[in-house]
């Protein structure tokens, strides 16, 4: 009973903007992961692009996704979060929809770059929203909720994509566009800029101050170390999928599910689902366990656990061990990542709450580029 009271109390400490922001994060991530859970397979197996070319495309497009928040955070602080949300969702809708209408490498690349621009502008707004609508007391749990919403979207999106590709692969792109289009409504009518979310500083000054973050040697060391961990994560959108298709004997998983009365075919899209579902089920528990612990030691433990997960993956071709390896990596990810963002949000100056989280995604940009 006491635990329930505590849970209720901590949930009611967050304002409406916190929940609206997380709702938009859920839908945007559903669109993103719904497409990216299968994009590499679609481009190679359906459109016959070379794996090297697809890797290059993904490296550029999704590195851009994690570099643009540097500009996006500055624009959000200067122009207001709500305005930039509308711009971001408009670009996302256009990028997803248009990319699904073409089958030439150059045009798909172009419209995925537009999608990446929208995603890059969107990212710092929600991390900034969470940072501004939480306190030191509830920040750890707040970012845990934020991370839970990301991964709930990463479960729903790929499952829907796996189903809808049975009708047409292009429908994956169109459904992602629809998810983002729907989020224009809460962005326009429900979202309210957090207090002090708008800056009166010129954009040039905001960007100059953002670049000063690069002079923080301890922060940049953190980014460098974390980039190594995220190299592993991004393999799940490319090399892990191709490895699964070419080398993993998936029949044992299919047969087990059929025995349970569940018609099932183990699909590359399920890699993202396993990762995200593990986090959805356990992240609130892990957040509660680690909420009072210091960030750096918790992050170190998470990185170690995630590395063990990929070691398991490298040592076996068993379908069940493949599933286990992704689940173990996910436990490490959920241990480290919310603490990482929470730590960055807490050390950021009040007028740079969007800029510092922007820099926090640089490890993801570096890892995706590599």
Spell out the CATH class of 15-192+210-369. Answer: mainly alpha
Q: Domain-by-domain residue ranges, the chain?
A: 15-192+210-369
CA angle, 166 as apex, 160 and 167 as ends, to 5°?
100
What's the pLDDT tens digit per position in 161-216? 999 999 999 999 999 999 999 999 999 999 999 876 555 566 676 667 666 666 66
Place of tokens 């922007």: 358
pLDDT of residue 364: 53
Place of tokens 């950021």: 348
d(CA 220, CA 214): 6
Which tokens sit at 191?
Answer: 């979202």
Rounded average pLDDT per 10-residue block, the chain, 370 residues: 54 89 96 95 93 90 83 82 96 98 96 96 91 83 84 93 94 98 96 72 65 66 79 88 90 90 90 91 82 83 93 90 95 84 64 53 51
pLDDT of residue 367: 47
Radius of gyration of the chain (CA): 20
Which tokens sit at 312?
Answer: 């398991």
What count of other Cβ atoms lies within 10 Å of the Cβ of residue 311? 12
d(CA 58, CA 368): 8
d(CA 240, CA 328): 15
What's the pLDDT tens digit per position in 256-303? 998 888 888 899 999 999 999 998 888 778 878 887 788 888 888 999
First to last CA, the chain: 49
pTM confidence score = 0.82
Which tokens sit at 174?
Answer: 């169109």
Contact 329, 275 (CB under 8 A): yes
d(CA 326, CA 328): 6
Q: Closest Cα partner for 362 from 25, 195, 124?
A: 124
d(CA 223, CA 77): 22
């Amino acid at each position: 009973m006491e635990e329930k009271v505590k849970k209720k109390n901590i949930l009611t400490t967050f304002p409406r903007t916190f929940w609206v922001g997380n709702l938009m994060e859920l839908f945007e991530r559903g669109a993103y992961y719904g497409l990216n859970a299968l994009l590499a397979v679609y481009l190679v197996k359906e459109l016959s692009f070379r794996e090297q070319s697809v890797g290059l495309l993904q490296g550029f497009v999704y590195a851009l996704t994690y570099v643009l928040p540097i500009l996006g955070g500055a624009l959000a602080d200067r122009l207001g979060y709500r305005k930039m949300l509308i711009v971001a969702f408009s670009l996302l809708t256009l990028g997803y929809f248009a990319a699904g209408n073409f089958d030439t490498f150059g045009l798909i690349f172009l419209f995925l770059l537009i999608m990446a621009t929208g995603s890059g502008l969107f990212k710092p707004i929600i991390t900034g929203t969470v940072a501004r609508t939480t306190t030191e007391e509830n920040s750890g749990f707040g970012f845990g909720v934020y991370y839970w919403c990301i991964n709930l979207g990463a479960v729903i999106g790929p499952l829907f994509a796996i189903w809808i590709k049975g009708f047409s692969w292009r429908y994956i792109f169109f459904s992602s566009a629809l998810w983002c289009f729907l989020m224009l409504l809460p962005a326009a009518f429900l979202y309210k800029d957090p207090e002090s979310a708008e800056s009166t500083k010129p954009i040039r000054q905001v960007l100059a101050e953002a670049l000063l973050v690069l002079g923080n040697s301890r922060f940049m060391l953190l980014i460098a170390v974390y980039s190594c961990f995220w190299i592993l994560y991004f393999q799940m959108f490319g090399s892990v999928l191709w490895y699964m298709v070419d080398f993993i004997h998936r029949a044992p998983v299919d047969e087990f599910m059929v025995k349970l009365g569940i018609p099932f075919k183990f699909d590359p899209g399920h890699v993202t689902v396993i990762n995200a579902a593990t986090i959805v089920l356990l992240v609130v528990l892990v957040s509660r366990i680690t909420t009072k612990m210091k960030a750096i030691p918790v992050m170190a433990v998470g990185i170690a656990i995630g590395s063990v997960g990929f070691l398991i993956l490298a040592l076996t071709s068993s379908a069940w061990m493949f599933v286990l390896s992704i689940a173990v990596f996910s436990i490490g990810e959920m241990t480290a990542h919310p603490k990482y963002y929470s730590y960055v949000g807490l050390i950021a100056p009040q007028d740079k709450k969007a800029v510092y989280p922007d820099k926090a995604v640089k490890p993801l940009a570096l890892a995706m580029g590599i």
